[in-house]
Structure 1
Amino acid sequence: MRPKMLLLIPILLSLPTLALAANSSSPSLYVMYQQYSSTLQITPSHITYKYSSSFYNTTTSSTNDERTIKYNSNSFNVNVGPLTNYTGKVSVNVSPFSISITSQIPQLARVLLIEPGLIEEVVWAGFTNTTTTVKGLTYFNNTATLVLQFLNGSNFANITFTISHTQTTYQKALTLLLHKVNLTMTGEYQLTLTIQGTQPQRYSKMEFNYEGIRAQAPYNTSIAYYNGTYVPAMIWSSKASGLLATELTNLQGIVEFTDIEFFGVNGSVVGSLDNTFSSIYFTHQGFILNITYNSLNSRIKIVINPNAEYAKASVATTVLVNGNPAVVVITDQGVESTATVNLYHKVMVFGPTTLIYVNTTSSGAYITIFPNGSYEYVSQVEPSVTVSNITLGGKTYTTQIVNINNSSNYVIFNVSMAKNETFAVFKQGSNGMVELNPNNYFIYNGKIVVFDDPSMTYYIVYGYQPSSQSFSISSNLLLPIIIAIVFIVVVAILALRRR
């Protein structure tokens, strides 16, 4: 057998201690929600700027609950003044779920975040007159572009930052030429909105709905950033767009949907993200009516399971289970996966290896994950068992003799215990009985479970004390080891002859 490589993160090995997976109960969830809109409208007679916002933070037991929130909206007439040079510093501070911006340059109106292929967000919308710090809920995975838009009369002036999770603070000293503007409020009101909660279903399509616009998206499995580290994730994303262009009219509209679910130890859900971003740009230059309309709207909801366990990856790979891709990550806290992890156990195949049972839909598979990220499927076999006595070292032991069908894969099988006492497992080798490494068998749900690079016959010897230093070498790895040893010996002999 040659281990197959599908996906590898080259991180130093740090295997978990011997453990079995156990599903935890559903705890309370912490929910953070934010929605911003920003609209600039220009006609020959006046310029109008409007921004709106709503927020809530709450603790709940389900993300499917409806929630009623207040939506605050403010409208202004924009009074355009002369061009003015503004000089100052702009500072950005990045944390796992938020970004704050301090600008000494006034007239900041929008902060956008763009990560191509994944997400767009309105981090903040409003208007600043002096040095101000603004903050918004946000998420990005790897590297993103942060766009600061300053109101410049009838348009916006952009300042951009490239941000990542490897750096928390950014700063630029700028001189920005802007039309000085003053805002006169023309309207202020509140709306009450009902937010329908949604929760992704792993390994299923996701249906999105925004103001009558519907879209469906299949899932993708990946590794995504979550609160300081990278964990297995499922991502649903879709886009709906429209375009109308004539001699007089240009209409461009787009709605982008992104949902991400993050998974921790045993495949438990550690958090989720729900984001919708819409953009409408409309111009009409006619004989009677001339208008430009530039509007952005964004809403984001982040759900955190505060009791879920997750940790930094040491080995990561992607396997196929029943045709479904499952990301599997080995950490020092256990096994994380987009699939449900029903069992994990440290075994020895030349070196430390992790045996897991993962389930993506209705059934699952046993898999061994090697330290380099490669993997092998493990065949579950049905043994035939007889009970007899055998003699080892001049002593007679009650023994279960287990026969299995030969397999080209690693195998796993289970046997009901014959006696409630210490036991060791042997297999029939070409030169007699060979003791298995004690890591390669264990008790699970009251049965003895045995993992091995298979033989035909096994012996479960009761009353026998397992060897503490026992080490089982896979027969498939024995030949490469012998070749390596021979090579080292030959090199050493040649080096001695040259002296």
Structure 2
Amino acid sequence: MKMEFNKREKIIIAYISMFIFLISIVLPPYGLLSQASSSNTNVSIYYERYYSSYQNLNGISILPRTGGSTVTYTTESAMSNLTSNVGGAMQITLNKTVYVLTFSPDVSTIKGYVSIYASPNMRLNIHTNIPDLVRVIVNSSGTSTLVWSGFNASDISTYAYINGSGIVYLEFANGSEISVISQDVKVGHNYTLTYSLMLYTLQSIKVSLSEQVQISVPINLPKRYQPINFSTSINGQMFMANEENISPTLSYFNGTLVASLVWKGEGIGFVQNGMLGHEKADFETVEFYGINGTVLGYVHLISYNGTENRLLTSKGTNVYFGEEKILLVHGVKALESMKSYGTVYINGKNVIVLVGNNGQVSSTAKVDLAHEVSINSSESGVLVYLNLNGSVRVVVVTLNNSTINVSLVKPLGIQPTIVTINGTQYEAQRVVLNHSGNIVFNVSLILNGKVAVYKQVSGSIVSLNSTNYFVINKTLVVYDDPSTVYYIVYYNMSIAPSTTQVSSTTSTAQVTSTTSTQIPSTSQNSALTVFHNANVSNVPITPSSSSEKAPITTPELAIIGIIIVIIVGALLIFTKRK
């Protein structure tokens, strides 16, 4: 009996092992890439990491000690760039240097200049003749990040993301303290200014440590509107954060405003090495979106600053840390200029939509289709199909920055018919709807050639503005503030007049119940094109709303099937046991 039980137990374990193995094959690793094809995305990565610790060896005093001070200054720096595909990691060399700085009690007045240029491509160039520069810090949009640390540099070229404008801080060693110069900057502008600083004379410089270590930096893309888990090590302490605070906004990218998502989080580093209390590091990620919602790239920032006071030595240490990773996707374009702006919610997520020249559209969601339409005789806009994780939402963004929700509806019936225009009969389709508000509906075309769309209003027939319908993959897409009956007329398919035609010379015609309907002459739509179409295969033909659940994917079906197999197998085992 015991042997039989052991045999059954082994069978159960085998089922579980098979389940785990199949799960590992079916499910991709969480959070690695934004989409399955991301591994083929070619990108440029620019990375920098700086750590700066300025420690007064003379101890803490109520009155600051400046002259005759001895300072241990520790700096770490890593800077690299790479062109690669998304996925994997880049290996970078981190340089660490420890200086012992001794200052005399003598004070000198130093007059010099500082030249600053923040370029649109996220480079910061600084030139100065003021000595003992140890740090450069950039504050933009409320976030301060260390973008350079070293000692006594006169020319600096580093990476720095500035969201249109910000403040650049230059910090200089000055005895037991730090002297600071600040300058407001705008991207694309040059600044050259003169300054006068009172600095203690540096008597001696000694390098007590110089070493290199290798670090690994992942090459990945965030997932839209999904939390990001991040961690980093700062001076031996691990900081971890879950960036769940996700906000859509406008951000500067290469000198222009684009749609973006901003993730923000706060990581906690706990007590280590005798330091008082815990520490916090700020994490921020900004992903930029271009035409049709394509990913332009992102900037990831980690920043920390504070003062460490050690229990046993009573030595004060001023610390800054900054990490910046810039990833730029090749072959994509940003919206050159913004003409109008709209917002919409998709599954509870706030999505922004930007309209540029020629009806081009950018968004924090993917744009499946964009087409310029006429709302009324005095107003126009752009019809936009938005796709967020499989949920489709259709809107019209007007030139006055309003957003009109559009329902994607399915016709109640579509029947072939014949219409008469100026004595000539044409093949047509009669479309019946029952919906209110702004709508979009689709009709599969049964004939090739030019088409025009008419609608029935109060018993009369009027033509639609030709900008409000277009053809995609032999499917006619119609946008309107709806009627109940529409006619799709095929102008190149004329036939001989029938005896049932109804003649009319007015601008409208009465609809009859015969198989032939008289329609007045009108300008034919000779060019039906989609202005900006991101992915025509994704344009839905049947109604869809953001409240609908996404269809079950193949991996999910596989998992369900595996679970069923396990349950059935377990039931069979225990049934035989009885």
Pairwise TM-score range, normalised by the shorter structure = 0.7 to 0.9
TM-score, scaled relative to structure 2: 0.72
- How do 1:276-291 residues align onto structure 2 when only pairs under 5 Å count? 276-284=302-310, 289-291=313-315
Q: Could you say what secondary structure the match of 2:401 adopts?
A: coil
- How do 1:339-488 residues align onto structure 2 when only pairs under 5 Å count? 339-350=365-376, 351-383=379-411, 384-407=413-436, 409-430=437-458, 432-463=460-491, 467=523
RMSD, aligned α-carbons: 2.4
Distance change in 2, residues 1:304/1:217 (3 Å): same
Greater relative contact order (Cα < 8 A, sep 6+) = 1
Aligned to 1:169: 190
> Per-residue deviation at 1:348?
1.1
> Per-residue deviation at 1:432?
1.2
1:156 matched to 2:190? The reply is no
- How do 1:7-156 residues align onto structure 2 when only pairs under 5 Å count? 27-44=41-58, 46-62=70-86, 64-81=87-104, 82-96=106-120, 97-117=122-142, 119-128=143-152, 132-156=154-178
Aligned to 1:268: 294
Verify the 8 A CA contact 1:251 1:280 in the aligned structure 2: no
Paired residue type of 1:31: I
Per-residue CA distance 1:349-378 (angstroms, 9 max, x = gap)? 123310010011221111111111101111
Distance change in 2, residues 1:54/1:42 (3 Å): same
Per-residue CA distance 1:165-187 (angstroms, 9 max, x = gap)? 3x511222111001122422112
> Per-residue deviation at 1:253?
2.7
Distance change in 2, residues 1:187/1:24 (3 Å): closer
CA distance in 2, matches of 1:405, 1:227: 48
CA distance in 2, matches of 1:28, 1:280: 38
Distance change in 2, residues 1:47/1:213 (3 Å): same
CA distance in 2, matches of 1:75, 1:265: 47
CA distance in 2, matches of 1:271, 1:403: 45
1:335 matched to 2:326? The reply is no
Verify the 8 A CA contact 2:52 2:76 in the aligned structure 1: yes
Verify the 8 A CA contact 1:252 1:281 in the aligned structure 2: no
- Percent of aligned pairs with the same residue? 28
Per-residue CA distance 1:109-162 (angstroms, 9 max, x = gap)? 101012254x32112111117xx1212101021432211101001110011111
Paired residue type of 2:42: S
Aligned to 1:487: none
Q: Could you say what secondary structure the match of 2:339 adopts?
A: strand
When you count strand as a share of all residues, which structure comes out higher? 1
Distance change in 2, residues 1:249/1:353 (3 Å): closer
CA distance in 1, matches of 2:38, 2:95: 40
When you count helix as a share of all residues, which structure comes out higher? 2
- How many residue pairs get aligned? The number is 437
Q: Pick one of 187, 200, 203 that aligns with 1:179.
A: 200
Q: Could you say what secondary structure the match of 2:283 adopts?
A: strand
Aligned to 2:535: none
Aligned to 1:227: 254
CA distance in 1, matches of 2:404, 2:193: 51
CA distance in 1, matches of 2:100, 2:444: 80
Verify the 8 A CA contact 1:313 1:330 in the aligned structure 2: yes
Verify the 8 A CA contact 2:164 2:255 in the aligned structure 1: no
> Per-residue deviation at 1:284?
4.3
> Per-residue deviation at 1:320?
1.2
Paired residue type of 2:107: L
CA distance in 2, matches of 1:95, 1:122: 17
Verify the 8 A CA contact 1:322 1:364 in the aligned structure 2: no
CA distance in 1, matches of 2:314, 2:428: 93
Paired residue type of 2:190: T
Paired residue type of 1:458: Y
Paired residue type of 2:243: A
Paired residue type of 1:396: Q
Distance change in 2, residues 1:434/1:24 (3 Å): farther
CA distance in 1, matches of 2:350, 2:300: 22
Paired residue type of 1:239: E
Verify the 8 A CA contact 1:203 1:361 in the aligned structure 2: no
Per-residue CA distance 1:396-450 (angstroms, 9 max, x = gap)? 111111000131x111111111211221110002261101111111111221111
Distance change in 2, residues 1:163/1:252 (3 Å): farther
Structure 1: 4+ residue segments shifted above 4 A: 23-27, 241-244, 248-252
CA distance in 1, matches of 2:446, 2:300: 53
Distance change in 2, residues 1:180/1:285 (3 Å): farther
Verify the 8 A CA contact 1:252 1:282 in the aligned structure 2: no
Distance change in 2, residues 1:349/1:133 (3 Å): same
Choose 1 or 2 for highest CA Rg.
2
Distance change in 2, residues 1:210/1:285 (3 Å): closer
Query: Which runs of 5 or more residues in structure 2 are unaligned?
Result: 1-36, 60-69, 493-520, 527-578
TM-score, scaled relative to structure 1: 0.83
Q: Could you say what secondary structure the match of 1:313 adopts?
A: coil
CA distance in 2, matches of 1:388, 1:271: 52
CA distance in 1, matches of 2:91, 2:176: 35
CA distance in 2, matches of 1:299, 1:25: 24
Q: Could you say what secondary structure the match of 1:265 adopts?
A: coil
Q: Could you say what secondary structure the match of 2:316 adopts?
A: strand
CA distance in 1, matches of 2:409, 2:71: 75
Verify the 8 A CA contact 2:240 2:268 in the aligned structure 1: no
Paired residue type of 1:220: S
Aligned to 1:240: 267
